[in-house]
Amino acid sequence: MVSHLIRLARIDASLDKHCLLAGATRFEFGASLEREAPFHVLLEGTCVLRMGTRVLSLAPGDIVVIPSGAPHTVTTPGGGRLQEVVATSGVAFRTVRSARGGDSVIDLFCGHYTFGPGAGAMLLRSLPDSVQVSFGESAESRAVLGTLSTLMRDEAHREGAGTAVILSSLSTVLLAMVLRTARGLATTATLWTAAGDSRIAAVVERVLDDPGADWSIDRLSAAATMSRATFIRHFQHSTGMTVGAFLTRARLMTAAELLRSGDTTVAAIAAQVGYQSESAFGRAFRTATGTTPARFRRGLQPAGTTTPGPDSGADG
């Protein structure tokens, strides 16, 4: 499921900074661009991340993703006046240290994910404002993150040809781990991509594989081997959304990818993702994206290209 979503969302990852900060250091991060989500991976030490009124305590093995892109601050423990940071540019990323120097008390990688328009933007908006996942709690998770962190550190020290691509790929792996992890959430956030109930997760997978099918509540509950009422209750508990909201999201994310990857008419795409009429599809798509399917498609085309013929859908 997560692999399918990452492909649909057309996610790119960039590791921007390697932070080796001394005690009593404050590092401020401004607001991100649209469809960007910053992330932080703490390998060693402890620190505090503040985002508005929210305060997150980070420990080794913690990953924080901020889908909202809100400004935030990372502060290391220590007494005395807080010091700022200085950055040194490198081939693939910047190395950030405390302005007054001192021995490092944290080893932190910082970067951002860029989500594509349409499916990517819908996935980004469906996630909580911030998500903190701890991979330091179980032996299996520690082993996986340990391998990734070793690779990241080795590349950070090497920093040569191909480093940016390697670190981008490793950062995408980290996002996949976050999206599929229901356990270890250090916040009260519910990730619909990580349904804790295996029966609900199987249903989510089936819908994403074939969003245009006639997914009635009765059919879905039968697939999950639950009664209708039990299924509805368990689905909302596991995903944080209603069945109807999930079906709409799955169908529109698939539709957005179809609109950008071919010349199939809007009417055909509407039918392919389970809508009985092009007008109903157009209304739902506009509610989710702020634009019509035809305008969305035109906005993705390079200058000088043409759109499909008149049956490709009205602007509405």
Per the CB < 8 A criterion, the answer to whether 172 and 36 are in contact is no
Q: Note whether 2-191 and 193-312 share their fold.
A: no
Which CATH number is correct for 193-312, 3.10.520.10, 1.10.287.1080, 3.30.379.10, 1.10.10.60?
Answer: 1.10.10.60
Write down the pTM of the prediction: 0.86
The confidence score (pLDDT) of residue 302 equals: 52
Starting at the edge strand that comes first in sequence, how are the strands of the sheet with 72-75 ordered? 26-29, 72-75, 47-51, 54-58
What's the chain look like in SS3? CHHHHHHHHCCEEEEEEEEEECCCEEEEECCCCCCEEEEEEEEECCEEEEECCEEEEECCCEEEECCCCCCEEEECCCCCCCECEEEEECCCCEEEEECCCCCCCEEEEEEEEECCCCHHHHHHHHCCCCEEEECCCCHHHHHHHHHHHHHHHHHHHHCCCCHHHHHHHHHHHHHHHHHCCCCCECCCCCCHHHCCCHHHHHHHHHHHHCCCCCCCHHHHHHHCCCCHHHHHHHHHHHHCCCHHHHHHHHHHHHHHHHHHHCCCCHHHHHHHCCCCCHHHHHHHHHHHHCCCHHHHHHHHCCCCCCCCCHHHCCCC
CATH class of 2-191: mainly beta
Instruction: For the beta carbon of residue 267, count every other beta carbon within 10 angstroms.
Output: 18
Mean pLDDT of 196-201: 89
Give the span between the Cα atoms of 19 and 85, in whole angstroms: 9
Q: pLDDT tens digits, residue range 261-297?
A: 878 999 999 999 999 999 999 999 999 999 999 999 9
> Lowest mean pLDDT: which of 68-82, 188-202, 210-224, 268-282?
188-202
The confidence score (pLDDT) of residue 156 equals: 83
In the chain, domain spans: 2-191, 193-312
Q: What is the mean pLDDT of the chain?
A: 89
The confidence score (pLDDT) of residue 194 equals: 85
Q: pLDDT tens digits, residue range 16-48?
A: 999 999 999 999 999 999 999 999 999 999 999
Determine the distance from the C-alpha atom of residue 41 to the mean position of all C-alpha atoms in its chain, rounded to a whole number.
14
Tell me the β-bridge partners of 65: 39, 131
Give the span between the Cα atoms of 211 and 249, in whole angstroms: 9
